[in-house]
Amino acid sequence: MKLRLAPWMVLLTLVSSCPVIAAASGVDKEIEDCIRKNAPQSTAIQHIRLSSMDDMFEEKILDATVYWKQLPDGNSDLLAVFEEPSDISGSRLLFLEKKPDKEIYLYMPAFFKVRRITSSRIASSMYGMDFSYEDFQWLYNMLATATSEQRPDAILDGEPVYVLAVVPVDASGSKYEEVVSYFEKKSCVIRKVEFYEDGRKLRKILSAAPGAVKQVSGMLIPHVFQMKDLKKKSETELVITSVRLDPVIPDSIFDPAQLKEPHGIE
């Protein structure tokens, strides 16, 4: 069963979801309702930590606060403000979901300049981690121009799961041919996401730790994830250290012209 404009079913990951809840006529109504239970209504603020090992087996750590807001037209904006390490402290990464093209802006205090990330660099590593700029967009369900599909149910680690896939359109500039997600049936919490490149070659796997699912305001939210890059043979752990659902977030913090200014950010 295929449908257009339903990215909410792809990756209810970092906030258990920061989804764009779109019409889902091609998805079983019970699945849709189950996923909606774990979704914030309009906004979310998270504190996250990403950690990985470099080639010298030294640990790299990034701390950031992520602000997400759904817009009245169904699109969403996202701002990541980095606190650690010290050499990128104050950096801000802004994702604006627009049609026909998404916009990504990066502000680095050392250069005191806002620059736009072009589609040719969307697959680039984000601060040396196993998450690319595009991966980060997928995590927060900002690629709304994809075609979604419900696949036959499966078994994952002995548990029955729903299988949902997204095929990005060519115009999106995505490096992925397909993104497949697995949701635990009994809770509708994300368990695993597979990222396939051209030729359906599996490139990355994102796994949610089953033992790190916490209840926040009645929603079930995974708090620990592992992203594995099978080509590079590297891993990055992402931990949500805190989360607030549906707080007030001013629109001004998503203005590219305001990226140099910390005003309005809690």
Coil, strand or helix at 93: strand
123 pLDDT above the threshold of 70:
no
Residues 177-201 as b/e (b if ≥16 CB within 10 A, e otherwise) read ebbbbbbbbebbbbbbbbbbbeeee
Structure pTM? 0.81
Coil, strand or helix at 81: strand
Distances (CA, A) of 260 to 25, 63, 113, 185: 42, 19, 8, 44
User: 201-208 and 113-117 as β-strands: parallel, antiparallel, unpaired?
Assistant: unpaired
Distance CA 222, CA 208 (A): 6
10 pLDDT above the threshold of 50:
no
> For 178-201, how does the pLDDT look when each residue is reduced to its tens digit (9 = 90+)?
889 899 999 988 899 999 998 999
Please, what is the Cα angle at 45 between 186 and 17, to 5 degrees? 25
pLDDT at site 115: 87
Higher pLDDT, 91 or 261: 91
Token pair of 219 as six digits? 């929603």
pLDDT at site 256: 92
The percent of residues above 90 in pLDDT, for the chain, comes to: 25
Distance CA 89, CA 72 (A): 32
pLDDT at site 8: 37
As a residue count, the chain comes to 266
Higher pLDDT, 133 or 121: 133
Please give the domain boundaries of the chain with CATH numbers for all domains.
2-257 (2.50.20.10)
pLDDT at site 9: 38
Q: Which helix (H) or strand (E) holds 138?
A: helix 133-139
202 pLDDT above the threshold of 90:
yes
pLDDT at site 4: 35
pLDDT at site 18: 39
Question: What does pLDDT average to over the chain?
Answer: 79
> For 219-248, how does the pLDDT look when each residue is reduced to its tens digit (9 = 90+)?
888 899 999 999 989 899 999 999 898 899
Distance CA 151, CA 163 (A): 5
Distance CA 101, CA 46 (A): 26
pLDDT at site 65: 93
Residue 15 confidence class, pLDDT cut points 50, 70, 90 = very low
Distance CA 233, CA 55 (A): 11
> For 94-113, how does the pLDDT look when each residue is reduced to its tens digit (9 = 90+)?
988 876 667 889 898 888 88
Higher pLDDT, 101 or 41: 41
